Amino acid sequence: MALVETYKELIQEIMDYAEENKIPIMQQEGIIYLTNYIENNNIHSVLEIGTAIGFSAIMMALTKDDIHITSIEKDEERYMEALKNVKKLGLEDKITLLYKDALEVSLNNTYDCIFIDAAKSKNTEFFEKFSPKLNEHGTIITDNMKFHGYVDKDESEIKNRNLRGLVRKVKEYREFLKNNKKFETDFLDDIGDGIAVSRKREEK
Ligand code: SAH
Ligand code: MG
């Protein structure tokens, strides 16, 4: 984590920008878990769905020398801001940013880790689309599994119809992971906004 020290002020600027502009970057606890996981699990390539302004991509890129992050963002303004931030930290060689809708992108590479942090209603689609792009012994990590605590609430408590629909989607994704025959998932509900860590089951 020595690199993070070096870039402390620039990282703080990115976090301040996120707060001022209401950009939902990963929570402190979550980012610590994610970067530790990458440091300690022999991960050298990451595919991120949902760049926003590049905060999590940058934090992942700073974990070690031999790592590459490919990150997809569909919002032009955020993508441009992410480009600027990656340049500011001189991380162009370690981070590739794609300005695309993740559901429309086609990728040739495979990855050691896939980090899903985009539209919560589409998590199952992202998982199904990108899990074939995972290397053997790879991990898929999903953020916002608690959806700001809403998944623990009774449906009748959620008055807003759109919100209720989203919460239902997050719950369906949790069920999808629980019942997945190819992946075994740990639900780390106490970390940040809840993180799911899905590892490929050993083939028998
Ligand atoms: N990972 C970032 C935060 C991402 S916020 C961090 O922690 O720093 C979620 C982002 O996903 C938003 O910027 C949103 O525009 C983007 N997004 C949502 N749906 C998407 C899609 N289908 N394809 C690409 N990006 C998407
Ligand atoms: Mg998130």
Per-residue pLDDT tens for 112-148?
Answer: 999 999 999 999 999 999 999 999 999 999 999 998 8
Number of domains in the chain: 1
| Amino acid found at 77 | E
pLDDT over 90 at 180, yes or no: yes
Q: Range with the lowest mean pLDDT among 22-31, 129-138, 151-160? A: 151-160
For a ligand 1 pocket test, name from 11, 33, 75 the mutation site with the most ligand atoms within 8 angstroms of its C-beta.
75
- Please give the pLDDT value at position 9: 94
Mean pLDDT along residues 161-167: 88
Nearest CA to ligand 1 atom 10: 50
Q: Is 26 in the pocket of ligand 1 (CB under 6 A)?
A: yes
203 CA from centroid of ligand 2 (Å) = 31
7 CA from centroid of ligand 2 (Å) = 22
**Bridge partners (DSSP) listed for residue 40:** none
How many whole angstroms separate alpha carbon 146 and alpha carbon 185?
A: 15
Closest atom of ligand 1 to CA, residue 24:
5
Per-residue pLDDT tens for 8-21?
Answer: 999 999 999 999 99
- Please give the pLDDT value at position 163: 87
- Please give the pLDDT value at position 76: 98
Instruction: Give 94's contacts (C-beta < 8 A, 6+ positions apart).
Output: 61, 67, 68, 69
- For residue 75, what is the DSSP state? -
Distance from the first to the final alpha carbon of the chain:
38
How many whole angstroms separate alpha carbon 148 and alpha carbon 145?
A: 8
- For residue 202, what is the DSSP state? P
Closest atom of ligand 1 to CA, residue 105:
23
- Please give the pLDDT value at position 160: 87
- Predicted TM-score (pTM) of this structure: 0.96
Show the 3-state SS of 77-110.
HHHHHHHHHHHHCCCCCCEEEEECCCCCCCCCCC
| Amino acid found at 171 | K
Taking only Cα atoms into account, the Rg of the chain, rounded to an integer number of angstroms, comes to 17
Question: Domain residues for 48?
Answer: 2-200
Ligand nearest to the CA of 71: 1
Which stretches of 25-81 are assigned E, i.e. beta strand? 45-49, 68-73
Residue 13: which CATH number? 3.40.50.150
Provide, rounded to the nearest whole percent, the portion of the chain with pLDDT above 70: 99
pLDDT over 80 at 1, yes or no: no
Average pLDDT over the chain reads 94
